[in-house]
Structure 1
Amino acid sequence: MPFRTLSPEDVMAGGTRIMRAGLEGGKIVVAYGKPTLEKSANLAVQAANWSAENPILAACAVVGTTGATILAAPSLATAPVLSSLGFTMNGIQAGSAAATAHSWIGNIVAGSAMAIGQSAGAGGNGLVIVNGAAQLGGAVMTLGSAGIAWIKAQL
């Protein structure tokens, strides 16, 4: 397919069409955006009021949702934790907590927590163990908060 040479008029016409489309989009935002924003703000106020009136149930909702998220996608929790401890794709990061622990331990024994952390940080088999532990924690959070909410509802 040969390339077409554009004239300045073609470029101007295309720019004009884009600008008109942007103006039309702006009209849509003005027409529908304000009511949507107001409804969102009202919903946020209602949620805040309910949370203030029901702090235990609100905490259970937050903990349960967090647990369900970790259960479904454990790497959302484990990747930042591993990285912040110093377990990276390139090995243990100098000056990190993992480096300090490694200097205390010395040689790393296969199967130890340090070895699993190194493997998980590098994306190896240790990640299965770390993610599995996170998922177990997520399940406990979800079920525990549901149990507390149920007990609260019975009182």
Structure 2
Amino acid sequence: MTPQDCIEHFVTEHPIQAASLIAGGITVTAASAAVAAPFLGALGFGAAGVVHGSLATIIQASTGTVAGSSLFAILQSAGPGGIGMSAVKTAILAAAGGAMTAGPVHTLLQCLSNATAT
């Protein structure tokens, strides 16, 4: 079987899962901005900077000087919607995409493995 044959077989055998992957991908892409801001706010990265008494405050106090390219600096920039927000959205998309495609990719690899074994 070719990779295309394996994909066609997956879509034929699992039409609901295949459709949910497409719909899920669209939803995750659209929702990444909606999810990122509340998540950052819950951690303490607010529009006006690090929120007093938050987890972000504790982390900042324990790290001392924050390096410009560190994860903390990126989250601090993302809080008010700065350039760090694109990095946060990308991370959300990557994590969600990986979670959504793990099963189908495993199935595809099994199909290809079985095809080469025969």
TM-score range normalised by the length of the shorter chain: 0.5 to 0.7
In 2, the alpha carbon distance for the partners of 1:101 and 1:65 equals 38
The match for 1:104 is 62
Q: Deviations over 1:96-146 (max 9, x none)?
A: 000000000111110101100000001100001111111111211221243
Three-state SS of the structure 1 residue aligned to 2:40 is helix
Report which structure shows greater RCO (CA 8 Å, sep ≥6).
2
**Alpha-carbon distance change, 64 to 81 in structure 1, aligned in 2, over 3 angstroms:** farther
What is the TM-score with the length of structure 1 in the denominator? 0.51
State the SS of the aligned residue for 1:144.
Answer: helix
Q: CA contact under 8 A between 1:71 and 1:138: conserved in structure 2?
A: no
> What is the Cα deviation at residue 71 of structure 1?
2.8
Taking structure 2 as the reference length, the TM-score comes to 0.65
When the two structures are aligned, how many residues end up with a matched partner? 92
The whole-number CA distance in structure 2 between the counterparts of 1:138 and 1:67 is 9
The DSSP-based 3-state class of the residue aligned with 2:34 is: helix
Q: Partner of 2:42 in structure 1?
A: 84
Provide the aligned C-alpha RMSD in A. Answer: 2.7
Q: How does 1:9-88 map to 2 (within 5 A)?
A: 68=25, 69-88=27-46
Q: Separation in 2 of the partners of 1:100 and 1:65?
A: 40
Residue of structure 2 equivalent to 1:126: 84
Query: Larger radius of gyration, structure 1 or 2?
Result: 1
Query: Partners of 1:97 and 1:127 in 2: how far apart?
Result: 18
